[in-house]
Chains A and B, each alone.
Chain A
């Protein structure tokens, strides 16, 4: 691991010392920047009434040789970290309210900024819920969508497993320290995700933090924060899943809910979401419809060739389309390409997902 810059060092130090995300925010407020915190902590520590003494003394103690100790531990556990000041911090997460200053993760954060859907639901899912989770996640995964979930049992586990099966990236957000696997039952799943490039297990909590109920509440904001939309498969009334949905709504994410029988306990939450305006999700098309990037991807995915393989004539046509020409007659006049040939090039372009030809006009998709 390369040596840490002052921002990283300070944030990791605070986090490891048990300073919560909210407290970190306050400290930053107080000192002005991470560097100031690091440099002036000793002088000001008696003025920090919002931190309790145990934490302050812990921080003072751990500051000595902090970087070496942490590096060694991270290396041993194969854990990586990213802070909010880093370039590779997930873009979507940066803009939510109360973003985590530090993320610990195992695996790889590659592609985390691509289109992402959180698939969440009850731990005690019904067979219907599991079926729906597998079907919808599978279809999303086939489109290359990242799947985010909470690595719990039930729907979460189905979502991660299905994503892995279809070779989509999947990110599991947990509510404990990165070295704590909870629930134990999912150990294999944890391993599968962090081994190889299949995604990552992510948490904002430092080592050894136990999975207490309160953590999951905060964890849920990261699940929705990392996503473009959340797909709620099954949820009971007043469940953690609905909390995530609440976060999603606050963060302006699309909320998709799978409808269920009105007498099913596990569909009460999702049906209520639908009543409150969540998008009813009967098939993956309902999701694609709402998420612009997905719509485009659907078109592009159907392409039989890559964009970079456009021929000269194709590029020429795209050039004219970009200049505002949108019908066949004008195109053939401007490009001076023979009509027959023009028609055939348009087919190729449409196959490549670059354009859409409707009856009256040609529109550019790229």
Chain B
């Protein structure tokens, strides 16, 4: 009396196929799980026993051995509950037949209900790629799993229904969730039009969003840094299907999906400055994605970036360079994608009023130096746009003039992104900010006049050398925003403006 049920465990974002083999034999009644199960799986014994009993089936009175094969792979996760229960029921011939193109995931509650698990989406995707035909998933996970093509999703709410289904007494329609990536549109409570004045900052943010450039906003308190950062999601283009799948996978394994299907909006994460290194990078004994990965294809907003501990900030360096983060733990090393647009805001000095025409700065020069010194050169190096934000004037606040709405800005950004997608379609990158030095040479050609301008700018404005490539990348984006094939001198001239911090604070 042996049964074999297919299921799945996750390593990072990858699902591995696992066989749940169940053997019932004579002898003293006993229940053992072998095959490197972790604590959550060992505990599943009790849930499985109670769930089977409470669903109205007999729990076999015999020696039960459950083997999770391959035996060398460490397994963890509560999704193994359901396959173990199904395995026992199949071994005791309560379930007649389970074909080996079906896999089962789900957690059991004591009353026999099947409850939601984390990471259902990446599991289903991985198993589909291994040519499985059918996935039995918890009812609550059906929205996220239902978007995947090429595999039947069988959502089940309780163990007894699943038995009926397997025995052919009841049919369950494979679930398809209708993903319409635009259905969440215009749900934002905030809008760009609420920001009065601040034209230069708005434009810089628009350029940054169009090319996914990292941006640093420096300004005194109350200048609207946070306000504008919070509105960046409203002008970002919606995720494409592929991007959305990737993001949803990350959210799925983090248990942040809330029964929703695909995530259609670009993530906007704004971790607080008390966040730890692990929460930023990801980690844990069984690594989970951190903030850098949760903001994949979206925005990572670090308000008061200098208040973050230095080691937390420096964690950003690898993902900003490679678009992914690798976490090494005893159980192995895991790689999560982390392509985000960093939006950092900071004060120019500890008191915040350095350079503000309306307030006196009370900091000493050494305090200021120490403060600014917290942000390292290598990190700064990866921030394409660095601008100073003006304090808001009272006149602007009461001004009733028309401001552009988010959707107007978004239209331009979508167009600019399309141009970039088209240009880089065979290169594995999506946006200008991802251009390598080689790519810059190829796609950011400038004419003689522009070269002269750039050369002069370096001398007159005292830009640092590291600004060179950034200015080119940003000018590429500005040109794209205008649907201009070539980078023209005016585009370059505008890009130069976005390095206003370079010469003043860091040289």
Contact = CB atoms under 8 A, between A and B. Distances in A.
Residue among A302, A344, A357, A361 with most chain B CB within 10 A: A344
Contact of B396 (A304, A329, A345): A329
Interface string A333-344: 100000111111
A347 B457 contact: yes
B491 A344 contact: yes
A360 B504 CA distance: 13
Given A329-B199, A360-B357, A340 B494 contact: yes
A182 B236 CA distance: 78
Contacts of A303: 456
A88 to B, nearest CB: 35
Interface in A291-307: 299, 302-304
A359 interface: yes
A257 B417 CA distance: 60
B500 A302 contact: no
Interface in B449-507: 452-453, 456-457, 459-461, 478, 481, 490-494, 496-497, 500, 504
A304 B459 CA distance: 11
Contact of A351 (B202, B356, B391, B456): B456
A193 interface: no
A339 B497 contact: no
B393 interface: yes
Interface string B352-392: 00011100000000000000000000000000000010110
Interface in A311-348: 327-329, 332-333, 339-348
A350 interface: yes
A302 B462 CA distance: 12
A-side interface mostly: helix
Given A302-B456, A329-B390, A347-B457, A340 B500 contact: no
A304 B401 contact: no
Contacts, number: 81
Contacts of B460: 299, 302, 350-351, 353
B-side interface mostly: helix
Contacts of A360: 355-357, 388, 390-391
Contacts of B481: 340
B199 A339 contact: yes
B493 A345 contact: yes
Interface in A187-233: none
A323 to B, nearest CB: 16
Contacts of B390: 327-329, 359-360
Given A302-B459, A359-B355, A359-B504, A346 B497 contact: yes
A329 B197 contact: yes
B359 to A, nearest CB: 12
Nearest to B491: A344
Given A350-B461, A359-B355, A360-B355, A332 B199 contact: yes
Interface string A44-73: 000000000000000000000000000000
A68 to B, nearest CB: 57
B452 A304 contact: yes
Contact of A347 (B356, B396, B401, B494): B494
B457 A343 contact: no
Contact of A304 (B355, B356, B453): B453
Contacts of B496: 347
Nearest to A338: B203
Contacts of A350: 460-461
Contacts of B500: 357, 359
A341 B198 contact: no
A339 B481 CA distance: 13
B256 interface: no
A360 B202 CA distance: 15
A343 B491 contact: no
A319 B453 CA distance: 24
Nearest to B197: A329
A299 B461 CA distance: 10
A181 B1 CA distance: 125
Contacts of B356: 360
A107 B303 CA distance: 67
Contacts of A332: 199-200
Contact of B401 (A327, A333, A346, A361): A333
A343 B497 contact: yes
B456 A343 contact: no
A269 B207 CA distance: 59
B222 to A, nearest CB: 14
A337 to B, nearest CB: 10
Given A344-B497, A347-B457, A339 B203 contact: yes
A299 B357 CA distance: 24
A103 B52 CA distance: 119
Contacts of B357: 360-361
Given A302-B456, A348-B493, A343 B401 contact: no
Contacts of A348: 453, 490, 493
Contact of A343 (B388, B391, B494): B494
A321 to B, nearest CB: 16
B494 to A, nearest CB: 4
B456 A304 contact: yes
Nearest to A331: B199
Contacts of B207: 340
Nearest to B391: A360
Contact of B453 (A341, A346, A351): A351
Contacts of B504: 359
A8 to B, nearest CB: 47
Contacts of A333: 199, 401
B281 to A, nearest CB: 34
Interface in B425-458: 452-453, 456-457
A65 B396 CA distance: 79
Contacts of B203: 339-340, 343
Nearest to B482: A340
A151 to B, nearest CB: 35
Contact of A340 (B197, B453, B461, B478): B478
B323 to A, nearest CB: 28
A299 B462 CA distance: 13
B144 to A, nearest CB: 40
17 contacts: A304-B456, A327-B390, A329-B200, A332-B199, A332-B200, A333-B199, A340-B494, A342-B199, A343-B203, A343-B493, A347-B453, A347-B457, A347-B494, A347-B496, A350-B461, A357-B500, A359-B390
Interface of A: 299, 302-304, 327-329, 332-333, 339-348, 350-351, 353, 357, 359-361
Interface of B: 197-200, 202-203, 207, 355-357, 388, 390-391, 393, 396, 401, 452-453, 456-457, 459-461, 478, 481, 490-494, 496-497, 500, 504
In the A-B complex, the 10 residue pairs with the closest CB atoms: A347-B493, A344-B494, A344-B493, A339-B203, A359-B388, A329-B197, A344-B490, A343-B497, A339-B199, A302-B460
